[in-house]
């Protein structure tokens, strides 16, 4: 079965695996692939799948290379005889730890597939497993609070820890083996049905991550490992004080001196898992907002130049074709447009942004889209389409602005200028609009297929709690929804290629 390309006229669905009823890479993930195939779709887009850190955010991962153990399929552990077949994710048991005990007792360290994986992933696996094991032994505190010899990677201290805590290290190697085994099985299942997977590569890393601990010289950190400059964005429409994300910033000069070796390894690993990848905060590759770590808000930051075209030339020289999507939302300068165009990366078009008074709003109207674009009704950072439409005014969008956007949307999406239109099935009307646009790719969040309200929102940017918890009800994506989506897909020429 031929897999899609970003230059194909195609469409897909955005849904993170943790939002599946099973919350893992098991049976309900395969059911999602089956739904996409039945609906004539080409793509399944996800958020980052690394091990989550603070706030359970997939954009604050503890590794740029490891997978999220929370996505490991208990069903497959049972099928492989490593775990009881009746294990359930929410019944209070530490199933992964129990599975590791059973695996170890059966001589699992000599399992040929486990040994093969450990060798192939050695470049990142050993340091990640060591980092996670130390973190566990230290009660889960961040690495800057470990005893100084471990914090500073003293060779003798690390050797002693390995000797004393090999079992803890082996547990994390086991967990990664299971994650990547489940991922390989799901990827093959999707490929057999012609479904491509779109991943997500955050530009920044969590401070409390194996990569920052391992590569301190490539980040703005002090002698104790604490950040001196952190990431964020300046004050804007959404926040009068900007957003202070807190991620440590890269020392791009040092990374350039190494030929961007760490980044090339990161891209290679990510592209080995996905058929296309969304580059989060693409603007940051041209310039980024640097905030002194002592500042409580983003107000006193300043712009610094990003790595630019030289960076992507280096990655492309090492890896060849780069099937990347540029998340270019925000203040899109000519430099951003030039960089994106130079490497042929499609940008993002969000229909929810099309109906306000922002000067960029017209560029989000479907009749203005270029072909080299990925069109969305909204993303994980937006309210659902129904929630957005019903919002009477909140945050930076007052009641008058919300009413204006509703009226404008209804005029644009309706069959006529009926201002008494109450927005019936606004989600399907917006889906139809992006599907009918000339953008090469159209992606619909699963919440919009279901017409869910704000309760189903995935993330509220700038907030640390209450995010990433949306779950689909079992059987929510029905055959009727698949048929309706397939019909639009066929009408607008986005049917999945069959050969």
Give the residue numbers marked as catalytic: 280, 327, 381
In order of 4, 233, 439, 449, 496, the CA distances from 492 in angstroms are: 16, 37, 11, 17, 12
Distance (Å, whole) CA 288 – CA 24: 34
- 209 contacts 53 by C-beta, under 8 angstroms: yes
- 489 contacts 39 by C-beta, under 8 angstroms: yes
Distance (Å, whole) CA 137 – CA 405: 53
Which residues are CB-contacts of 336 (< 8 A; sequence separation ≥ 6)?
Answer: 282, 283, 286, 328
Residue 222 neighbours by CB distance under 10 Å? 11
Distance (Å, whole) CA 67 – CA 93: 21
Of 104, 95, 171, 101, which Cα lies nearest the Cα of 134? 171
Which residues are CB-contacts of 11 (< 8 A; sequence separation ≥ 6)?
Answer: 41, 42, 43, 435, 441, 442, 443, 444, 489, 494
Distance (Å, whole) CA 133 – CA 162: 9
- H-type helices in 356-398, by residue range? 385-390
């Amino acid at each position: 079965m031929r897999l899609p390309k970003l230059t194909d006229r195609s469409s897909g669905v955005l849904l993170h695996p943790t939002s599946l009823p099973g919350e893992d890479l098991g049976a309900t993930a395969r059911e999602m692939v089956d739904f996409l195939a039945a609906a004539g779709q080409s793509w399944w887009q996800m958020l980052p799948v690394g091990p989550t850190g603070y706030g359970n955010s997939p954009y604050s991962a503890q590794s740029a290379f490891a997978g999220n153990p929370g996505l490991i399929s208990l069903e497959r552990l049972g099928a492989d005889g490593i775990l009881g077949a009746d294990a359930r994710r929410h019944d209070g048991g530490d199933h992964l730890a129990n599975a590791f005990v059973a695996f170890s007792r059966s001589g699992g360290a000599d399992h040929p597939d486990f040994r093969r994986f450990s060798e192939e992933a050695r470049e990142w696996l050993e340091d990640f497993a060591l980092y996670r094991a130390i973190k566990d032994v230290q009660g889960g505190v961040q690495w800057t609070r470990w005893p100084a010899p471990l914090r500073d990677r003293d060779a003798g201290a690390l050797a002693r820890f390995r000797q004393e805590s090999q079992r803890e290290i082996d547990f994390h190697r086991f967990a990664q083996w299971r994650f990547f085994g489940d991922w390989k099985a799901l990827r093959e299942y999707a490929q057999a049905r012609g479904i491509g997977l779109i991943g997500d590569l955050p530009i920044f890393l969590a401070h409390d991550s194996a990569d920052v601990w391992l590569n301190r010289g490539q980040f703005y950190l002090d002698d104790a490992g604490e950040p001196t400059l952190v990431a964020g964005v300046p004050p804007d429409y959404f926040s009068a004080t900007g957003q202070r994300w807190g991620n440590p910033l890269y020392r791009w000069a040092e990374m350039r001196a190494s030929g961007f070796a760490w980044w090339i390894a990161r891209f290679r690993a990510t592209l080995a898992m996905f058929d296309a990848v969304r580059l989060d905060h693409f603007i940051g590759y041209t310039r980024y907002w640097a905030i002194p770590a002592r500042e409580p808000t983003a107000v006193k930051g300043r712009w610094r130049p990003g790595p630019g075209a030289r960076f992507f030339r280096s990655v492309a020289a090492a890896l060849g074709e780069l099937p990347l999507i540029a998340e270019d939302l925000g203040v899109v300068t000519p430099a951003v447009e030039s960089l994106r165009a130079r490497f042929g990366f499609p940008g993002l078009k969000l229909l929810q942004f099309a109906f306000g008074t922002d000067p960029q709003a017209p560029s989000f109207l479907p009749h203005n889209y270029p072909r080299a674009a990925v069109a969305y009704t909204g993303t994980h950072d937006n309210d659902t389409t129904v929630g957005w439409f019903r919002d009477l005014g909140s945050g930076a969008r007052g009641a008058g602005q919300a009413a204006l956007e509703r009226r404008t949307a209804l005029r644009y999406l309706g069959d006529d200028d009926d201002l008494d239109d109450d927005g019936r099935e606004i989600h399907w009307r917006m889906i139809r609009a992006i599907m009918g646009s000339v953008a090469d790719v159209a992606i619909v969040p699963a919440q919009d297929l279901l017409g869910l309200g704000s309760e189903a929102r995935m993330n509220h940017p700038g907030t640390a709690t209450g995010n990433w918890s949306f779950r689909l009800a079992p059987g929510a994506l029905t055959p009727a929804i698949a048929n309706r989506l397939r019909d639009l897909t066929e009408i607008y020429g986005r049917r999945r290629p069959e050969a």
